[in-house]
């Protein structure tokens, strides 16, 4: 199980990778969403505020009204934010649960795909 | 998602409610090809007997609604039927079936493009050859809109669906008022023989086809019950509209005139209200394409994207353009649809599309029932909807829908008195290609992806020593980390 400090480290790396990727920023230029994350094993919850493709913050706790809700284990979240797993495979195996529109779910996966094409 | 139960307590900002989900379900089902579907029903159940076939088809669809409601409750995911089948019969067979299932999307897109092209050409009194120009223009517009990431807003989709359903119903009522006759011998469903009656019901089933695709929106529904309600309400709406349309067709037009026409709805419009009625039905036909092109391209291209990301299709098919659209998947769909539409245009076999589509849908319904039968044994957890007498009804579904598959796969609505192996041959070819691909090529793709991951990409996540339960907890930042 990963604690919040590990998640925070992974999220920090993910944020830098997203925000510094010009192609991704252009692709997500019209995408502004609030995302809630829930660790099913530790109960840790955190949020991600995305504004026109830029990740503005990833605070602990659920902030605001979500457009997307993602639930999985803390370990899987860490691996996902470090780009060590392909989220689609785990999603289709039912290991990552998502609530949100199909388009938003694809956009969320597209972030990992653009940053780490080999994931 | 497998469970979808461990979620945030907060409701989604843009959650889908019953009215929108019902419109999505009805809109996916009621495409321009449904007008030809009614003609196919009339080919086997002449006159008012078609009404009985549409009613029986509707009752069978309610069984499907129950089966898919329970499956959706177990796995509320955009992967839909692919997930149900995957859990029941394994990933590879499930993907083979789903690839075949997705070919119905191509059929419906091609059919809509062809039907609108034919209808526009007829209204504008243009030479027959211009039909294909219209088809190419329509598909090019749909392709461009999809590549630019243009989506119909939910309220537009809902408005379009209810406009098409209401518009078709109102024109049918006006046509019936013109005729003033009562339905004649509606119960003579088997007047042309027992097998003809079964074929009529099987084609009636096709009028509701794709209503179950609303399960792919399960993750944005306010509650699982929203999808269940949509699955039960949408078929009732379609039943009402198709019944009125079939009755109006029977009373106001001659079957000989509409049987060989690719725009029977325009002939009905013309018979009911002259030029105004024809324009009315043309407008409704074009409106159905908005839903078909929007929903069809979206569902199929996202399925292709996910399969490519998962490693079951070449990774190029997951390539995204600057609008975050899987451009190669969308362009491939448009290209194949244009090819199918060209074949239909060249051969004049538009009713073959109905036969193939109806047979594939019946097969999917049989497999859906089989999945429930298997998963009733494997999945004991609670679900939001549980079909009463689920096992016997699912077993009944397997038998009935398999029979429906054969009834449509061996039919030729153009010549209803004889059997044709052509639809079955087309389906078997597509299925064999899908199965062959999944057996021979997909494993190689996955092996190559795994090798790439082993060689080219070391783990990025830093390794940490395990923290024991009695050791001091790690530092816990309390605020955001954007500046970290």
* Each residue's pLDDT tens digit, B151-190: 777 788 889 999 999 999 999 999 998 876 666 676 677 7
For residues B155 and B327, the model is more confident at B327
Q: What is the pLDDT of residue B484?
A: 29
Do the bridges between strand A45-51 and strand A33-39 make them parallel or antiparallel, or are there none, so unpaired? antiparallel
Residue B379: is it exposed, middle or buried by C-beta count within 10 angstroms (0-12/13-18/19+)?
middle
Q: What is the pLDDT of residue B240?
A: 97
ipTM of the prediction: 0.92
Is residue A119 included in any domain, yes or no?
A: no
The DSSP output letter for B477 is -
DSSP string, B370-439: HHHHHHHHH--S--S---TTHHHHHHHHHHHHHHHHHHHHTB-TTSTTSB-SHHHHHHHHHHHHHHHIII
CA dist B266 → B111, B121, B271, B366 (Å) = 16, 12, 8, 34
Return the number of other C-beta atoms located less than 10 Å from residue B139's C-beta: 22
Assign residue A89 the CATH number of its domain: 3.30.1050.10
CA dihedral angle for residue B329, residue A29, residue B153, residue B291, rounded to 10 degrees: -10
For residues B104 and A37, the model is more confident at A37
Lookup result for tokens 């009522």: B173
- Cross-chain Cβ contact A38/B8 below 8 Å: yes
Provide the number of structural domains found in chain A: 1
Task: Tell me the pLDDT of chain B averaged across its residues.
Answer: 87
Mutate to test the interface with A, among B482, B483, B484 (most CBs of A within 10 A): B482
Which range marks the domain in which residue A101 is found?
4-114
* H or E stretch at A33: strand A33-39
Q: What is the pLDDT of residues B341-400, one digit of tens each?
A: 999 888 888 889 889 999 999 999 999 999 999 999 999 888 999 999 999 999 999 999
Q: What is the pLDDT of residue B339?
A: 93
Tokens for B258? Answer: 């509409």
Return the number of other C-beta atoms located less than 10 Å from residue B129's C-beta: 9
Cα-Cα-Cα-Cα dihedral sign, residues B239, B241, B247, B249: negative
Q: What is the pLDDT of residues B183-230, one digit of tens each?
A: 667 667 777 777 889 999 999 999 999 999 999 889 989 888 999 999
Contact B385, B73 (CB under 8 A): yes
- Cross-chain Cβ contact B480/A89 below 8 Å: no
- Cross-chain Cβ contact B8/A66 below 8 Å: yes
Q: What is the pLDDT of residue B457?
A: 66
pLDDT grade for B334, boundaries at 50, 70 and 90: very high
Is residue A99 included in any domain, yes or no?
A: yes
For residues A54 and B112, the model is more confident at A54
Chain A CB contacts of B476 below 8 Å: 3-5, 60
Contact B21, B230 (CB under 8 A): yes
**B79, B462, B475 member nearest A92 (Cβ):** B79
Chain A CB contacts of B379 below 8 Å: none
Contact B68, B216 (CB under 8 A): no
Mutate to test the interface with A, among B146, B460, B465, B479 (most CBs of A within 10 A): B460
**A71, A82, A103 member nearest B460 (Cβ):** A82
Measured distance CA(B41)–CA(B455) in Å, rounded:
58
Q: What is the pLDDT of residue B7?
A: 45
- Chain A nearest CA to B319, separation (Å): 9
All domains of chain B in start order, with CATH: 19-453 (1.20.1740.10)
Q: What is the pLDDT of residue B208?
A: 96
Phi then psi for residue B447, to 5 deg, are -65, -40
All residue ranges of chain A with pLDDT < 50 are none
Q: What is the pLDDT of residue B38?
A: 93
Contact B334, B113 (CB under 8 A): no
Tokens for B111? Answer: 């059919």
CA dist B462 → A16, A41, B449 (Å) = 16, 21, 23
- Backbone torsion region of residue A43, taken as left when φ is above 0, otherwise alpha when ψ lies between -120 and 50, otherwise beta: left
- Cross-chain Cβ contact B216/A95 below 8 Å: no
Q: What is the pLDDT of residue B456?
A: 62
Q: What is the pLDDT of residues A19-49, one digit of tens each?
A: 999 999 999 999 999 999 999 999 999 999 9
Q: What is the pLDDT of residue B459?
A: 76
Is residue A85 included in any domain, yes or no?
A: yes
- Cross-chain Cβ contact A3/B476 below 8 Å: yes
Taking CA–CA distances from B460, the nearest residue in chain A reads: A82
**A40, A92, A100 member nearest B6 (Cβ):** A40
Measured distance CA(A28)–CA(B322) in Å, rounded:
8
- Is pLDDT at B477 greater than 70 in this prediction? no
**At B64, is the secondary structure helix, strand, or coil?**
helix
Taking CA–CA distances from B321, the nearest residue in chain A reads: A27
Q: A15 in contact with B at a CB cutoff of 8 Å?
A: yes
In percent, the amount of chain B with pLDDT more than 70 equals 91
Is residue A86 included in any domain, yes or no?
A: yes
The DSSP output letter for A91 is H
B3-28 mean pLDDT:
76
- Is pLDDT at B263 greater than 60 in this prediction? yes
Is residue A15 included in any domain, yes or no?
A: yes
Is residue A41 included in any domain, yes or no?
A: yes
Chain B CB contacts of A40 below 8 Å: 6
């Amino acid at each position: 199980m990963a604690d919040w400090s590990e998640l925070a480290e992974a999220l920090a790396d993910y944020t830098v990778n997203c925000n510094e990727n010009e192609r991704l920023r252009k692709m997500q230029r019209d995408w502004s969403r609030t995302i809630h994350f829930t660790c099913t094993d530790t109960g840790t919850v955190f949020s991600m505020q995305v504004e026109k493709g830029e990740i503005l913050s990833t605070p602990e706790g659920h902030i605001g009204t979500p457009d997307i809700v993602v639930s999985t284990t803390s370990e899987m979240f860490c691996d996902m934010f470090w780009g060590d797993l392909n989220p689609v495979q785990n999603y289709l195996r039912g290991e990552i649960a998502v609530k949100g529109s199909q388009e938003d779910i694809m956009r969320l996966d597209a972030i990992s795909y653009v940053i780490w094409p080999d994931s | 998602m497998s469970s979808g139960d461990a979620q945030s307590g907060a409701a989604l900002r843009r959650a889908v409610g019953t009215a929108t989900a019902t419109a999505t379900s009805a809109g996916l089902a009621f495409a321009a090809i449904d007008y030809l579907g009614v003609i196919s029903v009339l080919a086997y159940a002449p006159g008012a007997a078609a009404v009985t076939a549409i009613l029986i088809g509707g009752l069978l669809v309610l069984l499907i609604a129950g089966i898919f409601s329970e499956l959706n409750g177990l796995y509320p995911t955009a992967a839909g039927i692919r997930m149900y089948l995957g859990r029941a019969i394994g990933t590879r067979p499930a993907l083979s079936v789903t690839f075949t299932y997705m070919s119905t999307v191509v059929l419906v897109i091609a059919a809509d493009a062809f039907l609108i092209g034919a209808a526009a050409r007829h209204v504008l009194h243009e030479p027959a050859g211009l039909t294909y120009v219209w088809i190419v223009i329509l598909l090019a517009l749909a392709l461009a809109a999809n590549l630019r990431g243009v989506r119909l807003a939910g309220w537009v989709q809902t408005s379009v669906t209810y406009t098409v359903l209401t518009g078709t119903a109102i024109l049918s009522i006006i046509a019936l008022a013109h005729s003033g006759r009562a339905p004649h011998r509606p119960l003579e469903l088997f007047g042309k023989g027992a097998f003809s009656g079964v074929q009529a019901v099987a084609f009636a089933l096709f009028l509701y086809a794709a209503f179950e695709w609303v399960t792919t929106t399960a993750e944005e529904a306010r509650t699982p019950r929203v999808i269940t309600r949509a699955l039960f309400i949408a078929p009732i709406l379609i039943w009402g509209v198709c019944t009125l349309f079939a009755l109006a067709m029977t009373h106001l037009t001659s079957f000989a005139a509409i049987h060989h026409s690719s725009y029977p709805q325009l002939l009905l419009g013309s018979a009911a209200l002259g030029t105004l009625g024809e324009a009315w039905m043309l407008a409704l036909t074009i409106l159905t394409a908005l839903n078909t092109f929007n929903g069809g391209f979206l569902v199929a291209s996202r399925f292709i994207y996910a399969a490519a990301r998962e490693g079951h299709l070449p990774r190029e098919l997951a390539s995204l353009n600057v609008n975050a659209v899987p451009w190669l998947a969308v362009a491939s769909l448009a290209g194949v649809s244009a090819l199918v539409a060209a074949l239909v245009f060249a051969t004049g076999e538009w009713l073959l599309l109905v036969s193939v589509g109806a047979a594939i849908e019946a097969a999917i319904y049989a497999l859906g029932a089989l999945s429930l039968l298997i998963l009733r044994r494997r999945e004991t957890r609670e679900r939001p909807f549980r079909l009463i007498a689920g096992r016997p009804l699912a077993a009944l579904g397997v038998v009935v829908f398999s029979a429906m598959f054969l009834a449509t796969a061996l039919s030729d609505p153009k010549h209803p008195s004889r059997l044709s192996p052509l639809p079955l041959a087309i389906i078997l070819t597509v299925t064999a290609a899908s199965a062959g691909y999944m057996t021979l090529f997909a494993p190689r793709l996955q092996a190559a992806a795994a090798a790439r991951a082993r060689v080219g990409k070391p783990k990025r996540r830093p390794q940490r020593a395990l923290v024991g339960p009695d050791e001091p907890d790690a530092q816990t930042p309390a605020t955001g980390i954007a500046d970290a």
